[in-house]
Amino acid sequence: MISVRVPATSANLGPGYDAVGLALSLSMRISLERAPQPLVEVHGVGADLVPRGTDHPAYRAARFVARELGESDAHFHLVQENDIPPARGLGGSAAALVGGAVAANDLLGRAMAPPDLLNLVCDLDGHPDNAAPALLGGLVIGTLTPEGIRSVRLEPKGLKAVVAVPDFEVSTAAARYALPDSVPHRDAAFNVGRAGLLLGALATGEYGLLRVAMQDKLHQPYRSHLIPGLEDVIEAACRNGAYGSCLSGSGPTVLAFAPEEHADRIARAMHATFEERGIEAQAWALDVDLAGARVEPPGEVAAPSPVAVT
């Protein structure tokens, strides 16, 4: 059985809507072997929310890779061991897609080249902001073009990623429905300027610019009604030493970039702010995952789960 460890991801990062994503040290493991008939097992966090049949995202990706490699009749036994809270804006579906694709490619002889695998997972997920960092690790800026994915990967140094995860779901469909069909030109210009500043700050280590650089007018204002306390949690993070904070993906998770020495304090403040609103939550101070999806040697002990800060 092939086992692949895949990180959670935080997408959008303020102004970088559908283009910027970050891999986090919270993960799932997808294990795959050939089988006479499809069999899917799911264990761990949110197991009751994950499909068990062939519509499981990892299984769909594995079958897609098999067809691409000329094995359209292949079936698999798939096991997902999950630490990524589903439907919370942490890229769980994209991680599963990546895990299934990487595991199938390894199981079937690694015939698919890395650039083709990247194009495949981004195409299956619909955009690169979660799938690309889940596969490559680090921070990835990418866009889909007719010729395939075009991306740049960065490795931010000296940063912790604090995530506060409230105990309710925001469906991707609801989050997308909340967005308007058009936005004012001045709001688009606002985001373009801050997106450039965001990437410059992360590339050069000038993290003091992140509070301004992570501001957004294209998706957070329209989705804030779906996440009670969003602005208060962002403000609590910054007040307690975060460089900047924003909604993670479509939410409801809130992300903050933090210096290591303040990360636990920021996590506690974000957690407490949700709790003051009567919303149960968990908070983690995570590292940036630089490895991305990786095949684990047989018999390797599972990576320890990060401990929530409360």
- 90 is an annotated ligand-binding site residue: yes
Q: Residue 256 annotated as binding?
A: no
104: exposed, middle or buried (C-beta count within 10 Å: 0-12, 13-18, 19+)? buried
**251 annotated as a binding-site residue:** no
Closest CA to 58 of 90, 93, 100, 27: 100
- Ligand-binding annotation for 228, yes or no, is no
Compute the Cα dihedral for 189, 210, 88, 280 and give only its sign. Answer: negative
294 is in an annotated binding site: no
Question: Is 86 labelled a binding residue?
Answer: yes
Tell whether 101 is in a known binding site. no
Environment class of 72 (CB within 10 Å of its CB; exposed 0-12, middle 13-18, buried 19+): exposed
Q: Where are the alpha helices (DSSP H) in the chain?
A: 57-68, 92-107, 114-125, 128-136, 172-177, 185-204, 210-213, 220-223, 230-239, 263-276
95 is in an annotated binding site: yes
- Residue 304 marked in a binding site: no
- What is the C-alpha separation between 227 and 289, in angstroms, rounded? 26
89 annotated among ligand-binding-site residues: yes
Handedness of CA 19, 20, 24, 26 (dihedral sign): negative
Residue 211 in marked binding region: no
Neighbours of 102 (CB within 10 A): 31
Known binding-site residues for ATP equal 85-95
Q: Which residues are annotated as a binding site?
A: 85-95
